[in-house]
Structure 1
Amino acid sequence: MADNKTYYYLKLKENFFDSEDMKLLQGMKDGYLYSDILLKLYLISLSQDGRLMYRGIIPYTPEMVATVTRHQVGTVEKAMDVLGKMGFIEILDNGAIYMLDIQNFIGQSSTEADRKREYRNLINTEKKRICGNSNVSDVGQMAGQMSKQKSDKSTPEYREQSKEIREESLESREQSTEIFAVSKDTVSRTDVQRAVEEWNSLAVYGLRPVSKLTSGTKRAKCLNARIKEYGIDEVLAAIERIKNSDFLKGNNKSGWMITFDWFVLPNNFPKVHDGYYENSTPQPQNGGSQSHVEQFADFARGWAGDE
């Protein structure tokens, strides 16, 4: 019987522990415990492309990290502080943890440059979404200030300097490996992840989040098709429009709420994308007939079931 499971693995070079960063880390008091926590976080984050957020929406607390790494909470708190200062991880204001070097250890070398660039863009995009600021450098400064306020022991200058060195090294490696172009028909895992995470942010309005997106299923194929057709930015914009629609959030006669599987269908997505359901759409007066919005939704619900 064929094995259809997806396996994730970490590729470490034989001199991994001989790097200056790892020598400095393990040279500290309890440094070997910190490096063990680091490797376990690398492995846990593999299925999310280096991003740590439980089920995609719940930030990992020190207690949760202690549970999954089998270390004391106090040790985990010290380790996270050290790993952040040394540039191994970055913790965003929403609690998402990014393993900054993990793109060196996963995937194929032919796609390495593109994957690393997408990963850095993903982090910056999430920063901008959290802070509501389009200037990436300003967001970086704000994140540094927040970290400094949280801990008197934090040293933003050291962290920023370490990050700049790593990014310069990353750019140098990208120049030597950027040989192959990604096909226009390819939808990256990063784009799919961004769309799912943006959808799951609607859970605060009571909408059902996506807990599973298996390759080859109807919902996965539909999402890939919408990303190819419109581009990831337009898909994210369409999800954002849902926030401006009381109707899609359940404020209608039947109490129906939009679902992910309904949203990605080819006949439904354009309506949401074009703002068909937004609050500015005229609604019927009390006692009047159904609006064209409700009529369309009733028709669509009749044949578009959730997966």
Structure 2
Amino acid sequence: MFKKILLILTIITLVGCKATKPVIVTTKKVALKPKSEMVTTVKKSNVPKSAITKPVKKEQTTSETEVIVSTSKTVVTNAVVKAYISQFKEIAMGNMKSFGIPASIILAQGILESGAGVGDLALSANNHFGIKCHEGWTGESVRHDDDSDQECFRKYNNPSESFKDHAIFLTGRSRYSKLFALAKGDYKAWARGLRTAGYATDPKYPDKLIAYIERYNLQQYDREVLDVNYVSNEKQLVAELSIENKNSKGSESYQVLKGDTLYSISKKFELRIDELKQKNNLSDNSLSIGQRLFIK
């Protein structure tokens, strides 16, 4: 009996062990995000979009002024200088072709000596190169303060005569002969050579000429004349200037051109500025191109 009971207990124990077999739990390894996937956040600025400004490129203006000092002190805008170049470049190139003087030098001297066409001598005598009477001059003249008081300066009927006389003046005097051995395109050598030959007493004269040439790219006209295909338009322009000059002197009115000011017009027709304003009911000094002014 004891043996049966022991057998039954053994069987029960074996069955119980199988029922309580431990459960093995497996865990899935979770991969960490690589560093490259890490996201960083930046605090959003409260500055409105309208307050964010982009850098603005500064544009060049043509309203800057030039202070030109030679036979007289003249203050002009860049636009006046450019208008002067446009008006006389063909004559300068024609003179270069005929006389061998670089057009860049002719224009630079004209700008400096005439105050870009609005200096005292240019307005009163059409003298664009500050040429004095000198011995042998039989034409008209005006008196003007320069190195000495009330010196004698040549007077011309129109600007084209002044340009031609300038060429004759340089080619007809032996002291300028060395200039014509220089290369036609070497404006720097010509500028220094003029000072050395005694054209001007100002030691900065060459630097001033070179500055005008480079600032306004006047050397382009030298290259144009030196081109084998260049054809001069000088004669037509000279004729137009002569007609324009005659018409303006005999007319009772004047049409405002680019670069004109009340001062330049008053000088041209020997009027006071206030007189000119009164004749035309002008409240200020502003003018517009094409405006017609009464001068008589």
TM range (shorter): under 0.3
> Which structure has more RCO (C-alpha within 8 Å, separation ≥ 6)?
2
> TM-score w.r.t. structure 1 length?
0.24
Higher relative strand content: 2
Higher relative helix content: 1
> TM-score w.r.t. structure 2 length?
0.25
Pick the structure with greater CA Rg.
2
